[in-house]
Structure 1
Amino acid sequence: MHEDGRAGHSGQEGPADSDEAGRAATHRAIAAVWRIESAKVIAHAARLLGDVGLAEDAAQDALVAALESWPASGIPANPGAWLMTAAKHRALDRMRRAASHARAHEALGADLEALEAHFAPDFVEALDAAREDDIGDDLLRLLFVASHPVLPREGRVALTLRLLGGLTTAEIARAFLVAEATVAQRIVRAKRTLAEAKVPFEVPDKAARAARLASVFEVIYLIFNEGYAATAGADWMRPALCEEALRLARMLAELAPEESEAHGLAALLELQASRLPARVDRQGRAVLLADQDRARWDALLIRRGLAALARAEQCAGLAVGESAALGSYALQAALAACHARAPSTQETDWARIVALYDALLRIAPSPVVQLNRAVAVSMADGPQAALAIVDVLCEEPSLRHYPWLPATRGDLLEKLGRANEARVEFERAAALTQNARDREVLLERAAASH
């Protein structure tokens, strides 16, 4: 005892402390396994149940079973297979309960008996082995369902992050700076919409696949963009979102190996992600492309991106470096590759970048692409040529509240020596942005324009 009457502590860990630490370590391991395996488990259950919402419930039941069982029994040698089997059993239980509430429907009873026979214990092991190759197909089906065009954009993003990214509702809410209840409602509505629309759990046929792939690509691209340049909040970037989008893009490229744009999207995200370490300085302040230390760009991601771009070109039947017939994501990847290959801003092939933007405008015209092209024109042909393009874009209604229109105009005016006009544009851009880091950079540029 201490003099004040308090019990002393030897500093050694007791049995209770050791048990608690062991449980905590197991729970951390389960969380890590779940993040990796959850999409496969949900996809597998969805194939059995034909309903994404019920499949997620079955997968969550399997997770609860793991949390109850693994701390005592230890983590199994193949935790993914354990979770998949548990989810399958929960799915069958749900189907039994559904059948018990509708015994008058003989067809349902017959289907259930056939299903139970199909999953009889003697055949489970052989069934699992036979279906091992189907997991990729299940994931692709789940990706198509979660990104279905019948859902609003916010619902597609939230559901994809939940089902395929393994993120919790709270994590998605933090990432997009919205209330957790808002995200929960989006996910619930999305699952209800899919069920009411009777969206089949399948990969669309070839005729419908292009349109559906466009929706899948858009969701992954939106997730990455929100991580790369956050639209609001105190952080300039949210790297965790970039990582999730990159993981999804890589998975999609593996699941759809003959799709040029799948590789184009993966290439674009690899190359853009390679710059993340250089986009902030040691103090966490934003660093623009022209000022970035290219030695901090991730060389491995650049190699992966260039390889994915070459694969996209190959799938499109092109020689390496050709851009004709490339889709919009592959063209954007080719643009990013120009930056990745250049030792400096000055040594970048700006003429090729302008040509690539011209190609992109032909297949995906938009005012934002025109604005980005103007930046390349300023580097290739000078700021006066670019200012003429930007001045026309100032009449574009869709860019009225887009902060990078006045920001680009301010940059061009500054290069032309029109400092007072540049300052006004930077201040206007700062007032339009909802991101604190962007506002900080723009106000610094306004203060420096005199």
Structure 2
Amino acid sequence: MKNIVDAIAAREAGTTVTAEEFAALELPESYRGVTVHKDEAGMFEGLEARDKDPRKSLHVDDVPLPELGPGEAYVAVMASAINYNTVWTSIFEPVSTFGFLERYGRTSPLAKRHDLPYHVVGSDLAGVVLKTGLGVHAWKPGDEVVAHCLSVELEGPDGHNDTMLDPEQRIWGFETNFGGLAEIALVKSNQLMPKPDHLTWEEAASPGLVNSTAYRQLVSRNGAGMKQGDNVLIWGASGGLGGFATQYALNGGATPVCVVSNDEKADICRAMGAELIINRSEKAYKFWKDEHTQDQKEWRRFGQDIRELTGGEDVDIVFEHPGRETFGASVYAARKGGTIVTCASTSGYLHQYDNRYLWMNLKRIIGSHFANYRESWEANRLISKGMIHPTLSRSYRLEETGQAALDVHKNAHQGKVGVLCLADSEGLGVRDREFRSKHEDAINRFRGI
């Protein structure tokens, strides 16, 4: 591993290290990765989700380097990031991810590699290609890359119009093994994209999952198909997902209506250029009277607050991801003929809404899950062009991944939380400092918050 780190550090110092030299590096028999253990899947039984502590279930272990298959690549991971799927994995909710690995392992002898008593987690990375398998032509050792988290087989017809519809579609590092919270990751070559030259390793690693998800959900024709002039209600508008949705709305000529939980988060939205902001803590909305009953008076109050900001207009699109807590209000708030597009349910999966507001007003609910390769590529391209920026607030060391996941679990973070893997400090990996200087303030907008 030291030789790999030294080769990357030499490039950092300005020395040319060729593809041939990277290809000649000896690979280690094992590497450090953040894991959950199959024999601990029941460790939190009887506890409420909020009381489950990822620091107890996430381990940093030495794990064997898996076999490299056709169409795959080893990547030396300089940095990764925390997503909610890592939190879910760490608390074994809604199900243990070992069921995913077992099912994947049954699909082929090569996939059997993933069915192990440990799961190396993580669905983001920025790093350097070390070696490619048979049939890989677009990437070579030494390429600096980021990876999106869509893993597909594409042996059936369904995925060839939209790869997210592949029957064997999985999220790498969540439904597959050998994820990005590690020193080395195993990816399919069609997960790779060029690392933006003006970003550090940790900045480049942080957008992947959430940026691509927000792009498909809001911009793509597979999602809401946002257009100029749309009013877009964005829940958690300064968060990991919402921070990108806010940028896409502004960048695409729409008007974001940003819902946040405090003044600090409102300031972040204003720094991004948003003007219409609802602080839900100040408004003290109580969308649920009790566990079983929603309060439609509160929906109406919420709708009125939106119209006061927009000059009397309802929103064309609702960018949904909290789920149970907000979904009834979201369906109500969308204009007649409007769209509610949902990609997650962080407050609960069982949604309730009044269907009269949906069918009688010709509204649409669209389910959106991650993004296909083309959508991910476009989202990454916008990062590279400096039109969309990372939302990284802070980074942890690999050994501190449990604490990083706990922060996300408790919502004690802003934007995205990064993890340094092989990078020994922040600030490394920038290749185009002149271009970076033009966007420094936007890149650092979430820092230290």
Q: Give the TM-score, by structure 2 length.
A: 0.25
Greater RCO (CA < 8 Å, at least 6 residues apart): 2
Give the structure with higher Rg (CA): 1
Query: Going by fraction, where is strand more abundant, 1 or 2?
Result: 2
Q: Give the TM-score, by structure 1 length.
A: 0.25
Query: Going by fraction, where is helix more abundant, 1 or 2?
Result: 1
